[in-house]
Amino acid sequence: MFSGCSVSSLAAKFTFFPPDPPTYSVKKDDSGRLVASGVPRDHSMDVLLLDTKHGTKLVAFYLKNPCARLTVLYSHGNAADLGQLYDLFVQLKVNLRVNLMGYDYSGYGASTGKPSEYNTYADIEAVYQCLQTEYGVGQEDLILYGQSVGSGPTLHLAAHLPRLRGVVLHSAILSGLRVVCHVKFSFCFDIYKNIDKIKKVKCPVFVIHGTEDDVVNWLHGHGLWKLAEEPYDPLWIKGGGHCNLELYPDYIRHLCKFIQEMENLTTATRLKKIRQTLKLPAKAVATTSTTTFTTNCCCQIRCRKPNCWSCPRRGCLMVRCSKGSAYLCNWCCGDWH
């Protein structure tokens, strides 16, 4: 009889397949800057070596786009490393007009350590911390992208970031155990229990899945979309498999649309959603001033009458609107309040 821990370890053994040998290596050039051999030399890309709380060193690529308003943190699928994904990253950076951070999990590519569920959680946390401290990227300007097994660390982080801009789930899994067998309940030894974590995500979730995926059944993507608190219109690619969705024109077209809509989310809209989530009372918001004539003023001048929620009364002339300050209305009458 297997214990829960041994079953979890066994599941991890059959979950992670890092390319062997890695498709790239990392070294310092003559100026002391980290560069990746095996990929084109790109002066708009930073090669980073990051420390995780589990003591491993991760390799990450940060691709800069001067036109970007948002940043994508990309968690890749299985049996791939950054060397294989570089061309895709460049395509996404250019077509989506975003900055893009991609990283290799512990044990993948030139990253040290061994791959495991909890190591990938520490991995993505280290990358997110780097985005905050080194590049000044807050969660409000961040979109998390998880492909296949990368949906695990993606939803782990997304569940802890209430002000995240958005999430993309590409060929994602409901859980590790559900990939190999149909179960209706979550077990303690299961890995990447996305079916539970998706309910904690408080931002728009865009799901992409191929209808002919023979590795992770389409029902996984559909299930995550149905469970999302704020589901975005999904993309079901007819005939798409597990590793070829980027080849379909609808892929980049719908992804561009999603990114554009996330860019257009206003602060007021986001605050409203946060208040609804936290069940806070709605707060009145200042509206645009309107031009009007004063009706009880002998000067009969045309003036702008501000509509400010913080002022208890209105007047034909507003000197100041701040707590503790007097303001003057009905100038000709000399009526102070």
Q: Report whether 195 contacts 223 (CB < 8 A).
A: yes
Q: What pLDDT does residue 273 have?
A: 64
Per the listing, tokens 């704020």 go with: 230
Per-residue confidence at 15, pLDDT binned at 50, 70, 90? confident
Query: Picking from 9-13, 291-295, 309-313, 314-318, which range would have the lowest pLDDT averaged per residue?
Result: 291-295
Nearest to 151 by CA among 197, 112, 183: 197
Residue 40 CA, distance from chain mean position: 27
Q: pTM for the full model? A: 0.78
pLDDT in tens, 64-79: 999 999 999 999 999 9
Q: Report the C-alpha gap between 91 and 80 in whole angstroms.
A: 17
Q: Report the C-alpha gap between 112 and 106 in whole angstroms.
A: 6
Domain ranges of the chain: 9-266
Query: Picking from 121-135, 271-285, 301-315, which range would have the lowest pLDDT averaged per residue?
Result: 301-315
Q: What percent of the chain has pLDDT over 90?
A: 67
Q: What pLDDT does residue 296 have?
A: 41
Residue 282 CA, distance from chain mean position: 26
Q: Which is more confident, 248 or 268?
A: 248
Catalytic residues: 148, 213, 242
Q: Is the pLDDT of residue 304 over 70?
A: no
- Report the pLDDT averaged over residues 116-139: 97
Q: What pLDDT does residue 268 have?
A: 57
Q: Report the C-alpha gap between 327 and 85 in whole angstroms.
A: 62
Q: Report whether 336 contacts 328 (CB < 8 A).
A: yes
Query: Strand 57-63 relative to strand 70-75: parallel, antiparallel, unpaired?
Result: unpaired
Q: What pLDDT does residue 178 have?
A: 83
Amino acid at 278: L
214 CB-near residues (< 8 Å, 6+ apart): 241, 242
Q: Is the pLDDT of residue 228 over 50?
A: yes
Nearest to 33 by CA among 23, 43, 18: 43
Q: Is the pLDDT of residue 1 over 80?
A: no
Q: Is the pLDDT of residue 122 over 50?
A: yes
Q: Report whether 169 contacts 213 (CB < 8 A).
A: no
Q: What pLDDT does residue 280 have?
A: 64
- Report the pLDDT averaged over residues 77-86: 96
Per-residue confidence at 115, pLDDT binned at 50, 70, 90? very high
CATH number assigned to the domain with residue range 9-266, chosen from the 4 options 3.40.50.1820, 3.40.50.970, 1.10.3210.10, 3.40.50.10490: 3.40.50.1820
Mean pLDDT, all residues of the chain: 83
Q: Report whether 81 contacts 92 (CB < 8 A).
A: no
Q: Report the C-alpha gap between 19 and 17 in whole angstroms.
A: 6
